[in-house]
Chains A and B, each alone.
Chain A
Amino acid sequence: MPDQILNVDNLSKSFAGVRALQGVNLTMERGEIRCLVGENGCGKSTLIKVIAGVVQPDEGTVTLNGRQYRQIRPIDAIREGIQVIYQDFSLFPNLTVAENIAFNYNLARKKQLVNWRDINRIAREAIAKIGVDLDLGAYVEDLPVADKQIIAICRAISQSARLVIMDEPTTALTEKEVRALFNVIKTLQREGIAILFVSHKLNEVLEISEKITIMRNGRNVTDGNTAGFDRASLVKHMTGREINETNAAIVPQAGNGSVPLLQAENLSCRGRFADVSFSLAAGEIIGITGLLGSGRTELALSLFGIRPADAGTISIEGRPAEIRSVQDAVRHGIGYVPEDRLIEGLFLERSIGSNIVAGTLRRLTRRGLINRTAVGAQIRQWTENLHINTPSPELPVKSLSGGNQQRVVLAKWLAINPKILIMNGPTVGVDVGSKAEIHQIIRDLARQGIGVIIISDDLPELLQNCCRILVMRKGRVLEELPTEGLSEADLTHRLSATTPAPASGTPAHSGQRKQVRPS
């Protein structure tokens, strides 16, 4: 067998005229750990899909273990030992752990019949290989994210993988789980398996990889040993410009005035969060963090009236406020930028302009009819204020990049003149450049006296922008930490130090899932 497992040569691919990949090259050898980094939309995922045979390239070739392919089918890639672990793991939630691990193995061997004893044996062997412990009979949908990750890895190695590609594997993991994953990766490396690790968490990239490939605008711009890079040079190659991440850190403005803008006392919502108290002053930015399922999103949804709390009180500017619905929240001047802007925050197919005025249409009417001039003025005002980069506000929102989309969501809520703005993951899926600008906008808003609550996983983001951070776990606020003098390592530690295991499943959505049934 040749030592070179993968050689991507001069690969190009366009989607509907947009060039996703332009002359990309990449090689991987046995036992190599390489990180692939780049901003959103730089072509990372397209490249992975081409290697996995899910997307066919327009030009260029892929050579797997010495065999050159013009077109690869998924099954070819699998036979060549290429295993992709997608961000969503591509597991079957309704099947057991054992069947999930053995499914692809059986499929690749063109089995027609299923031998359940074989399935359990294959699964046991794979699990033993990476030295973890899992209940083979459990249904995958009942397991926490970290376990799903392990199952996906077991599935990959059960098929004698030679190259495992991991797409953003650490997004939903705690610090401890990331450690465990890195150990597994090292184990795989010792077996001669190559790992292509796709991530945007630069610290992790620098820690785990030996080589780094950086992509920008569909090209690979740099390639080299990890030792030759640091955070700053990575960011520079990714964005193509100098962004000084640290200059973002300002001294967070403490709130002024004796009456807090928002005061929550002993807020509880059964099964979602309990006994949450905090206050927010005008002009203050506070952060809420916690693992997935910690109740942070649920808390935000309650404050915004989507799932009102069933106990406790909320006061706004010293007066008790009854927030039973979104309409109540808006009337009290609360705006909410949701976690998933694509689903909850935007009408993707509609124009940028209609999205901006969607929340304030009622104010822009005359005798019940929409006042076009006022609408136009408002749209102009916000596209200019927030520097939304578009040739025309008539274009659909989905034509914008992540950063610009997020600005549209912001504009929609700023148009209601909020006193309080709750932002859930304000820069998730936004590239480094736009991120800095969005942070600037948030700080400007605070300077104008708006109270901002940022809910985020991104600890540097919280540390750079907030003056206090609430750490939530299992539906409760564990600590309230002033950011001054707090380091990222401290915060990480506090976030996961005493965590035995994350609560399984996000309670906000699990109601839609029905009870487990054996099949």
Chain B
Amino acid sequence: MKKILRSSEFFVALVVMVLCIIIGLINPVFFSWENLFDLLRSGVVTGILALGCLIVIVSGGTDVSFATIAIFAVYLASKILIAWQFDGTVLVAFLLSAAIGTVLGLFNGALIAWFRLPTMIVTLGTSSIFRGAMLVFIGTFIINKLPQGILAFGQATLAQVSNANGAVIGLPVSVVIFFGAAVLVWLMMKYTMLGRGIYALGGDRVAAERAGLNVIGIQLFIYGLVGFLAGISGVVHASLVRNVNPFDLIGTEMNVIAAVVLGGARITGGRGTVFGTILGVMLVVIMNNSLILLGIPSYWQRAAIGVLILLGTGITAWQSKRESAANLLES
């Protein structure tokens, strides 16, 4: 019980609940199905990206290129499908985009694992390279006529509600992808040696090497997986906004990292959970979407998220400092 109270997931959950109650009290629309579906819809892409980002942060790294990879992958995949005049199932789009994402992710992984370069510098560099390459070699125009499969996927819903104005709001199928991915990542992180190896690597790299972990293999896997998830999230994003804009998504990586960190992942590595990350994503999505329900101008949302990050990480740091001071003098 004490452990639960001390965990940061508990704090995030508390903040999310309090925030929901406050917003709901001020504007009851918040508790409508319509708003819930809306929140889920806007959280899906951030959520999938956050799962990848969580794995990187747990391993002790920082990736800032996944948003670029996401849009690169879906943009190239869409171009290819259009060139093939392919109008079949969306699965092909997912496979293609995920494959492109994986290749780009492995490129990051190769630089990081083999050349032992700092992760943030590598991904800053590659994210710029990927973006430049996309604009130079693939194109700069928005694709408005997406393959039929992607469009159909974006319109498919699990449930629908109609609001007071008669507009129909649906819960997109891609929510399933997010929760499915979350369960898989959770199982991997908790019940496979690979997942425990990622925690171990984030805890102490030298110790991990001495224990006989294949650190290079693990790092390649991590960045490959991040690319894979980014590729998937790219298609989901395209299906929801019904176009592919090569200037989309880029810049959202900060929101994603914020969500993961708010969800209790330790930025220096070694700690973080899928559950916490989901809470962190909820927090960021609610802040981004619902402050408007309170009549708070959207420019304030960014500042509010920043304050939350400082508070969220600051409180725990301050607590541990106080605790160790108490240990020294009392015991």
Contact = CB atoms under 8 A, between A and B. Distances in A.
Interface residues of A, number: 48
Contacts of B331: 474, 500-501, 503-504
Contacts of A91: 204, 207
B209 to A, nearest CB: 8
B192 A114 contact: yes
A103 B211 contact: yes
**What are the 3 A-B residue pairs with the smallest beta carbon separation, nearest first?**
A271-B325, A94-B270, A90-B207
A417 interface: no
Interface string B237-248: 000000000000
A78 B212 contact: yes
Nearest to B60: A94
Contact of B9 (A106, A270, A511, A517): A517
17 contacts: A52-B210, A92-B204, A92-B207, A92-B270, A94-B202, A107-B193, A271-B322, A503-B328, A504-B327, A510-B321, A513-B320, A514-B313, A514-B317, A517-B316, A518-B7, A519-B271, A519-B273
A93 B213 contact: no
Q: Interface centre among B206, B264, B268, B328, by most A CB within 10 Å?
A: B328
Interface in B157-207: 190-197, 199-200, 202-204, 206-207
A77 to B, nearest CB: 9
Contact of B206 (A90, A106, A271): A90
B4 to A, nearest CB: 8
Contacts of B272: 519
B207 to A, nearest CB: 4
Contact of B210 (A90, A274, A510): A90
B320 A511 contact: yes
Give the secondary structure class of B's interface.
helix
Contact of B328 (A88, A114, A272): A272
A128 to B, nearest CB: 23
A112 B196 contact: no
A113 B193 contact: yes
Interface string A206-232: 000000000000000000000000000
Contact of A114 (B193, B203, B208): B193
Contacts of B313: 514
A262 B70 CA distance: 64
Given A94-B271, A272-B328, A519-B271, A86 B210 contact: yes
Interface string A63-86: 000000000001100100000101
A92 B203 contact: yes
Contacts of B192: 112-114
Contacts of A295: 328
Given A90-B207, A95-B199, A501-B331, A517 B324 contact: no
Interface in A482-516: 500-501, 503-505, 507, 510-511, 513-516
A475 interface: yes
A507 B320 contact: no
Interface string A343-386: 00000000000000000000000000000000000000000000
B6 interface: yes
A50 to B, nearest CB: 14
A227 B331 CA distance: 42
